[in-house]
Structure 1
Amino acid sequence: MTPTERFQDLALEEVIGDRFGRYSKYIIQDRALPDARDGLKPVQRRILYAMYREGNTNDKAFRKSAKTVGNVIGNYHPHGDSSVYEAMVRLSQDWKIRHMLVEMHGNNGSMDGDSPAAMRYTEARLSAISSELLRDIDKRTVEFIPNFDDSDMEPTVLPARFPNLMVNGSTGISAGYATDIPPHALHEVLDAVLMRMDNPQATVDELMTVIQGPDFPTGGIIQGVDGIRKAYETGKGKIIVRSKAVIEPLKGGKEQIVVTEIPFEVNKATMIKKMDDLRFDRKLEGISEVRDESDRTGLRIVIELKKDVQATGILNYLYKNTDLQVSYNFNMVAIYKRRPTMMTLQSLLDAYIAHQKEIVTKRAEFDLQKANDRMHIVEGLIKALSILDKVIKTIRASKDKRDAKNNLIASFDFSEAQSEAIVSLQLYRLTNTDITDLRKEESDLKKLIEELTGILTSATKLKNVIKKELAGIRKQFAEPRRSVIEDKIEEITITREVMIPSEEVVVSVTKEGYVKRTSVRSHAASNGQDFAMKESDHLLFEGNLNTQHTVLIFTTAGNFVYQPINELPDIKWKDLGQHLSSIVPLEPNETILAVYPFENFNADASIVTVSKFGQVKRSALKDYHVQRYSRAIKTMNLKNGDEMVFAGLMTNETELFVATNHAYGVRFPLEEIPITGLRTSGVKGVNLKDGDSVVSAVMLNPEVKQDLILVTQRGAAKKMKLQEFETGSRAKRGVVMLRELKSNPHRVVAVVSSTGKDEVLLVTEKDIRLTIAVNNLKPVDRYSNGSFVIDEGTEGKVVAVYKKDEPGKEI
């Protein structure tokens, strides 16, 4: 008969919610989170129990791992063999487990993240300490439930004669919950348990007098006692785990950093690769080589440094930028009373103590029952031996064993169990020696029964038994602490000076954007001649700088490029440099305006910028010290069509002179420009007529005698005294600097300052370059149009003007 189909009309949200709820409950309770009592996840508990059941203990020979995995899958854990084997391998890895629960022969992985050998190659057995997790499990101390196919029984928890959860820690992710409980030193945890048993109201501060904090199997230095205290009080807290490293001197003034302990759960190979990548990518110039010298005797990573490099600074940089130092976040979630619970130190200890009281109580009940049963038998045997002749006569007169037992019960008032023991008695037991042994056994059983009854009736005796057994485990398995705990988290400060070897270099930047650094040797070999540059280009900046310095490169798009010298390409003097756009992305028409070198950004100085539309702004130099510089950074917000025409470093200057294309000049105090942040537009500096624009600006120092050199597009040049221009206010139109012509008027290309012995480079639209000496120009008044130095008709209009003696400042 075909079964009738049944349809249910249910909301999808209801069905999905119900199914996911069941799944979530399963992975929370029975997969990813440890039990607060024995500190084990179900798969770990099943592995240990299966090995125990098979007699695969530490006092027996090793057995193939595959045999255990198959046994676990077949009897207790119906999941993939790889997940079972991975869990088994982890229990054997001494860099992940503080006290290994499984001993393994063969390749069981490494700190480099290498996979273990296949389970058919490795052999395993329980470790000595894991026997303490399973001790007394056969004495009905824990609850057993049917396995997945009801063919066998498995424990819901192990007796756990030591607090495994805190000793070995745990990590896991389930649905909505995650756990991170660090491992601790066995003797410290046991001392904390004993203190809590003596004083159930012990505070975290009191407990921390015996339990200092986590103790990782890989050692390392733990910083942040406050984070440990917070974690113990709330279940959540943060600490810093730092590698143990020493600085060793080498020959030739070099040093090396030797790392002998690394943070818990850090992949050694990945960490070393990261350190070597920093060297290869030239983000850390001071490292010459990184080597892994680890062997069977222990971990050893050597970071060899270049000459005259500060090892402490390099080490701090590695602490901050690699896994040589990591943060560890406590998240002490465990299954307590079948629920995921955020555990504090006290609740973890209390859960374990309550579990032990239950275990010892059930064990005492089991042993007492067994002792009483034996006492009953011993009493029967003693009675039988006292009337031995009558007993023998009764047995001989019986038909069979059953009849003999019935006759003994009827004649002498023996119980069923006693009569069974009597009829099963061997003849040699009827000697005088046996009665003595029985009376001694009776005496011992009375003492045992009295002792067990005391444990069951006295809370003090129960507590003393637990304390005595914990003390025994402490004596047998305690190991010295591996991790060092420091009170405060050390603040790491990194300066580029300590990361980068100090080296004198020549830095050059051309107008078309080619940049490079050149060794002093390469520059000297060329005597500074034969600089590689395109014919249409010219040198904008050349300076002897240090690799620990920085240059700021300002562009017409209102941006600046923060460029550490050590990160510039190292190129020979006679070879073309690398274009700036290959270092940082630039806009299509963005060109270099000015270059300024800096040793640091601590000086009381400002950067003054001026735009073509007449905006002026001033920003503090310290704002230009940035941490991220992979792209050009905005220094002046510009409107559509506007561009930056001037960027100057203000130190002792007090005034600004701004020149416009239509020959107006404005002079005003720099203090009229307020200091603002980088991403501002500034304030109005010049009141421009329609069609006019700013072409250049000059910062003026009253202590330096300066003239102004004006050049027009028609090739005329003139020199003016600064006194020709009175100081006024900003946002004025200014005064004229040329006589107005009705036909073919002069338009200003640039105005530059001169101290008398300068040279000015003029570039025409036909790429003709002319250098004029300022001394050859005679001072004239504001209304003169100057003298022609270039023939506009044959050589073309002047399109650009540069000062040759100050390539770092383009005006």
Structure 2
Amino acid sequence: MVDQDRIIKINIEEEMKSAYIDYSMSVIVSRALPDVRDGFKPVHRRVLFGMNELGNTSDKPYKKSARIVGEVLGKYHPHGDSSVYYAMVRMAQKWSLRYPLVDGQGNFGSVDGDSPAAMRYTEARLSKLAEEMLRDIDKDTVDFQLNFDDTLKEPTVLPTRIPNLLVNGASGIAVGMATNMPPHNMSEVIDACLAYIDAKGEIDVEGLMHYVKAPDFPTGATIYGYAGVKEAFETGRGRIILRGKAEIEADHSHEKIIITEIPYLVNKAELIKYIADLVNEKRIDGISNVNDESDRSGMRIVVDVKRDFNSNVVLNKLYKLTALQSSFSVNNIALVNGRPRQLNLKDMIQLFVEHRKEVVTRRTRFELKKAEERAHILEGLIIASDNIDEVIAIIKSSANPQDAINRLMERFQLSEIQSRAIVEMRLRQLTGLEQEKLRAEYEEIEKLIARLKEILENEDICMQVIKDELAEIKDKYGDERKTDIVYASEELNPEDFYADDEMIITISHLGYIKRTPLSEFRAQARGGVGAKGSETRDEDFVEYIYPASMHATMLFFTARGKCYWLKVFEIPEGAKNTKGRAIQNLLNIESGDSVNAFIRIKNLTSDVEFINSHYLLFCTKKGVIKKTLLEAYSRPRQNGVNAITLHEDDGLIQVRLTNGNNEVLIANRNGRAIRFHENAVRVMGRTAAGVIGMRLDDDPEDEVVGMVCVKDKEKETILVVSEQGYGKRSSIDDYRITNRGGKGVKTLNITEKTGKLVGIKTVTDENDLMIINKSGITIRMKVADLHIIGRATQGVRLINLEKRNDEIASVCKVMSDLDEEEAINPENPEENKEENPEE
């Protein structure tokens, strides 16, 4: 029964809950979160206090780290020695703390993640800045508490003159909460504190942000985008993007990317290793070597870029794929009156200023008390010096010191403290000079007492003292920002990863697409046999080829009249002899539909003036034409939009970009063409059906093969190409202007030898033709080799098909003088923008 009475039954759920709450609160309050006033967790506070108690200050020799750790461990912090040592080490690392608080000597680790030497090898002492955090600690400025075994006292907070929580930041993981506070520039933070005091607290976060621009990290780097900074300052939470600083240096043979600063808390050695791994895994192209050339003068990581690769593109890929661009998630949680609280910029400055006010007030009270005690003693000494003979006589005739004290108290109405001071007075103080010093000291003490009382009674004077002390700290320790700020940029633009090179876009009959650098195609003489252009399946052949730059936007128009969007860099790259990738896998095209037309626009969404002054001209195989403002197609949607309403037996074959002042030519399979001004077609809405542009023959196989827009009648000529490889250049004036809706005039004399018409283009002598036949053979030839002849003739042979029993599938024009360079003029963006690549 006795044993049973000693067992207390409790609910295990309640016990677990209360025990865990006790544990979590202990971690939150006594281990993981910093105090808002001095910005320290207990371990850091104890390390600095312990070093100060040891006399391990900046003006004295270094002491062994093991000596310091032993002092802190034995007196204040009963935890593992490594926790104390590594806390001290971090306060000495200039890449960890914006303003180091410990002056270390020896191996304290490196930015490469190397461990510090053992504490028996290293030495340390307080930095001058840390002494500012401990100054006046002996003047009753802060509360003390008993240590773990109740034998000593330790401070609950330091009387810091530095807004340490803001300037050095903090990080810690508690139970159910964490903190991650970035460091800031001391000059900026003190300026903000002064502004807060001047405004008497009537200043908002935005006003304080005029002084504290952004966090300032010890490793420098660049803050990329300001939205996260603003959010963190206003709410206490935010995500700051950090980019390492890099420059591109040109060498004799190739370019180099020189990285001189990396984001905060990034391990340099691991960053270099990861870059090397990316190169080995072929996830980054264009890097031949990575070297770490850092030395005591600074950081220098050299990334060698291969010849013919764009250094800016390589650098942007490094930003995206490596820690060279990192994010710092701000979470400003600190202890306020022993409770965790989320703090914005104003909260932290306000609470620091309030702490300084309390410290200054308590220090002033302490100093006033000491001054009054000294004045009291001086008053007694002055009375004694005025009556020195009598005082000596009383002391000489007294039986013992206490008797002398009592008789002096009675004779001169002195206090016991004054009488004791007189009895203990040295004979040298009886000299005239010493008596003058007493009176001078008393006068100074009286002035000091008046000044101290003024500070306590007048809040404005008290705040001025705080301001003067903060300004002194700024003058001594303030410095320039290390971290730059790029305000405008937010996230990485996908275009940053691709050089704006010129490409040839190839689309096959069965809907396979790829982009190939223009330089892979080479010019050949007219009538040549051609080079193998693309490997396709037996029943497939290359049907369309277009020139386009990598950053352009492409509008795809399908036979069923839908419009889709893609950036050129989103199209998979393939060599000249590969078949590419199915468009169905890139666009959400309905089954049975196929892409029949394409427009390339340089700046579709950003150039408002351009898209509101240009039009898209649609042409269907039944001869219907429609004109719509380009702006109607400037809002990309993933699933596409309806571009034109078609009749059941019709299909879209051509779309042209116009400026509203072009002439239009439409040709059919039977060799006729019609010419009219685009003003003959009124502007319609995006989903309109259009009007008749050309009337077809009664032949059921007749249909429109192409439409061109004439932009420069002086330079451009009309080129038509037939199935059997015949083609002809004619003057535009050979085609008379009529109204839309007619049958047109003969453009090529169709015979069994020539075959039906397959294409119509506008060309100049500066163009090359790229011709692809149904078996995938490609030939490139100069338009200048073709003479201008009459429109009704049979034309000349362009490509030799007799040996192959083949037919031409598609023709395209490119710039002739850019055989191995670009298809579009890079010097004139306006020309690039308005260029309408032909199918």
Tell me which interval the TM-score lies in, with the shorter structure as reference length: 0.5 to 0.7
Residue 252 (structure 2) pairs with residue 251 (structure 1): yes
For residues 550-582 of structure 1, give each alpha carbon's deviation from its aligned partner in whole angstroms, at most 9, with x where no partner exists. Answer: xxx9x99xxxxxxxxxxxxxxxxxxxxxxxxxx
Q: CA deviation at 1:398?
A: 2.1
Q: CA deviation at 1:387?
A: 1.9
Residue 342 (structure 2) pairs with residue 333 (structure 1): no
Residue 251 (structure 2) pairs with residue 238 (structure 1): no
Q: CA deviation at 1:677?
A: 7.7
1:136 alignment partner, SS class:
coil
Distance 1:365 1:677, change over 3 A: closer
Q: How does 1:171-320 map to 2 (within 5 A)?
A: 171-200=171-200, 201-252=202-253, 254-320=254-320
1:154 alignment partner, SS class:
strand
For residues 502-523 of structure 1, give each alpha carbon's deviation from its aligned partner in whole angstroms, at most 9, with x where no partner exists. Answer: 999xx9x9xxxxx9x99x99x9
Match of 1:660 in 2: none
**Residues of 1 paired with 2:454 and 2:595: CA distance?**
92
**Residues of 2 paired with 1:502 and 1:307: CA distance?**
18
Q: Tell me if structure 2 keeps the 8 A contact 1:636–1:678.
A: no
Match of 1:401 in 2: 401
Amino acid paired to 1:243: G
Distance 1:170 1:454, change over 3 A: same
Distance 1:135 1:101, change over 3 A: same
State TM-score, norm by structure 1.
Answer: 0.67
Distance 1:501 1:88, change over 3 A: farther
**Residues of 2 paired with 1:803 and 1:173: CA distance?**
76
Q: CA deviation at 1:597?
A: 8.7
Match of 1:23 in 2: 23
**Residues of 2 paired with 1:354 and 1:724: CA distance?**
92
1:341 alignment partner, SS class:
strand
Match of 1:383 in 2: 383
For residues 509-555 of structure 1, give each alpha carbon's deviation from its aligned partner in whole angstroms, at most 9, with x where no partner exists. Answer: 9xxxxx9x99x99x9xxxxxxxxxxxxxxx99846xxxxxxxxx9x9
Distance 1:410 1:646, change over 3 A: closer
Q: Tell me if structure 1 keeps the 8 A contact 2:723–2:809.
A: no
For residues 752-785 of structure 1, give each alpha carbon's deviation from its aligned partner in whole angstroms, at most 9, with x where no partner exists. Answer: xx9679xxxxxxxxxxxxxxxxx9xxxxxxxxxx
For residues 4-56 of structure 1, give each alpha carbon's deviation from its aligned partner in whole angstroms, at most 9, with x where no partner exists. Answer: 623223142x2222122112212221211111111111111111111111111
2:125 alignment partner, SS class:
strand
Amino acid paired to 2:458: S
Residue 91 (structure 2) pairs with residue 91 (structure 1): yes
Distance 1:499 1:41, change over 3 A: farther
Q: Tell me if structure 2 keeps the 8 A contact 1:89–1:116.
A: yes
Q: Tell me if structure 1 keeps the 8 A contact 2:554–2:568.
A: no
Q: Tell me if structure 1 keeps the 8 A contact 2:333–2:340.
A: yes
Q: How does 1:582-601 map to 2 (within 5 A)?
A: none
1:183 alignment partner, SS class:
coil
For residues 67-113 of structure 1, give each alpha carbon's deviation from its aligned partner in whole angstroms, at most 9, with x where no partner exists. Answer: 21222221111122222222111111111211100111111111122
Q: Tell me if structure 2 keeps the 8 A contact 1:623–1:678.
A: no
Amino acid paired to 2:221: G
Distance 1:64 1:4, change over 3 A: farther
Q: CA deviation at 1:414?
A: 2.5
Q: How does 1:765-776 map to 2 (within 5 A)?
A: none
Q: How does 1:682-693 map to 2 (within 5 A)?
A: none
Q: Tell me if structure 2 keeps the 8 A contact 1:278–1:284.
A: yes
For residues 267-326 of structure 1, give each alpha carbon's deviation from its aligned partner in whole angstroms, at most 9, with x where no partner exists. Answer: 222222232333222232222222221110001112221223222222222222222222
Match of 1:762 in 2: none
**Identical aligned pairs, as a percentage?**
39
Aligned pairs, number = 639
Residue 96 (structure 2) pairs with residue 105 (structure 1): no
Q: CA deviation at 1:58?
A: 0.7
Q: Tell me if structure 1 keeps the 8 A contact 2:555–2:566.
A: no
Q: CA deviation at 1:259?
A: 1.7
Q: Tell me if structure 1 keeps the 8 A contact 2:668–2:702.
A: no
Match of 2:160 in 1: 160
State TM-score, norm by structure 2.
Answer: 0.65
**Residues of 1 paired with 2:555 and 2:225: CA distance?**
38
Q: Tell me if structure 2 keeps the 8 A contact 1:705–1:755.
A: no
**Residues of 2 paired with 1:171 and 1:704: CA distance?**
74
Q: Tell me if structure 2 keeps the 8 A contact 1:35–1:41.
A: yes
2:203 alignment partner, SS class:
coil
Distance 1:803 1:259, change over 3 A: farther
Q: CA deviation at 1:456?
A: 1.1
2:256 alignment partner, SS class:
strand
Distance 1:90 1:496, change over 3 A: closer
Q: Tell me if structure 2 keeps the 8 A contact 1:290–1:304.
A: yes
Q: How does 1:662-673 map to 2 (within 5 A)?
A: none
**Residues of 1 paired with 2:239 and 2:82: CA distance?**
33
1:285 alignment partner, SS class:
coil
Distance 1:229 1:648, change over 3 A: closer
Q: Tell me if structure 2 keeps the 8 A contact 1:602–1:621.
A: no
Match of 1:8 in 2: 9
Distance 1:108 1:503, change over 3 A: farther
Distance 1:58 1:645, change over 3 A: same
Amino acid paired to 2:275: M
Q: CA deviation at 1:471?
A: 1.4
For residues 335-391 of structure 1, give each alpha carbon's deviation from its aligned partner in whole angstroms, at most 9, with x where no partner exists. Answer: 112111111222111111111111011111111111111111111112122222222
Distance 1:645 1:241, change over 3 A: closer
Q: CA deviation at 1:210?
A: 2.4
Match of 2:744 in 1: none
1:137 alignment partner, SS class:
coil
Amino acid paired to 1:231: A
Residue 458 (structure 2) pairs with residue 455 (structure 1): no
